Each structure stands twice: as C-alpha cells, then as structure tokens.
Amino acid sequence: MRKMILASSNPHKLREFREILEPLGWEVISQKDAGIDVDPEENGSTFAENSAIKARAVYEIARTAVIADDSGLEVDALGGEPGVYSARYGGTRDDKAHNALVLDKLRSVPDEKRTARFVAAITYIDESGKESSFIGKFEGRIGYEERGKNGFGYDPIFMVGDISSAELSPDEKNAVSHRGKALRALAEYLSADKEENRC
C-alpha cells in the first residue's frame, strides 16, 4: 500500500478518509502517527485556502503524499457564518457551545429561512509536490435542538429532511456528506492517475 499523511489528528476525519481511500490501496495515517507536530495558522479566507495551508505545512516536513481538509458550516440567515471560523466560532473550540450559539442566533428565524450547508475543501499533494483541490457540499437546514449521537461538530443541529446528520449511520453520512463528496472526487482523481501511470 502507498502511504498518505492526513494533516490532522482528528479521529473522526481519519476514519472517514480511511473508509474511502484504503480500498484504493492507500494507507492513511494521521500527522501525529507520522511524528509530525505542526499547527499552522489557518488565516485563509476560504475553506480551500485553509486546506492548502495545512497540507503544505505537513508536506514541507514529510515530502510524501499529504491530504488535508478544511470544512465548516454556512448558515444563510447568518450571512454565511460560521464559515471558516466553524471550528472556533464564538471564540471557543467546544462543539456544544458552537451549536448553542447557532441555535440562539436563529431563535426567531422561521423554518424556511434556516437553510444551511456543510462545505468541505480537500487538498491533495502528491509525492512530487503537485497540488489538487476538491470541493464537496451538503445541503440542509438548521434544526431547533441537538439530535443524534453518531456525528460530531454541527451534525446534531444540521437537519437532512426529518433527521439530523448525527442520526445518520456512517455509511449513510458518507454517501451524502460534504466530505464524502469531496473524498469521492479525490478517489476518482487518484484512480484515474493510477490508470494513467499504468499505461
């Protein structure tokens, strides 16, 4: 298997990346398991910029295949907030506090105006340093309370039809989620690249 380093130590993300990439012959390890301790400042104005910042920081040290993602929630009634600040919304890194803040800000917003989406940007840097970017979106709306135990982050308040993202099974979530879509686009790219190198 070829090895790829995920520019994160988030176990939830690592699991999602492995589920889609390992069947393609990639061993995905976290930057922590690779012995890399780097935490670059994510000062980009878009998810794609922040994803690239993280990937480049790890690639500069490892000089091997690296993958990074930046993702978050965009709420239309909040002008796109929390956006690139999703992980530190309200000045904290606590998921419960983030969800409470969004729900509080939308307290008087009617159902039809609670539209939102998750966005994921994935940056892949191959062994030679070539960069590629992939975007995935997951449309839904914000509910009125936390529901479900399967997800993390904003999943418990993000509604997909009548259930929350945190009530979807891992397989159901991978099939429709922003990260799943971006990962499948990456998987198609890696498969095509593999075929091209074989020819």
Active site residue ranges: 70
Strands 115-125 and 131-142: antiparallel
Nearest alpha carbon to residue 66 among 28, 14, 111: 28
Distance (Å, rounded) from C-alpha 114 to C-alpha 175?
A: 23
Contacts of 57 (CB under 8 A, 6+ apart): 7, 38, 40
**Contact criterion met (CB below 8 Å) for 54 and 81:** no
- Cis peptide upstream of residue 170 (ω within 30 degrees of 0): no
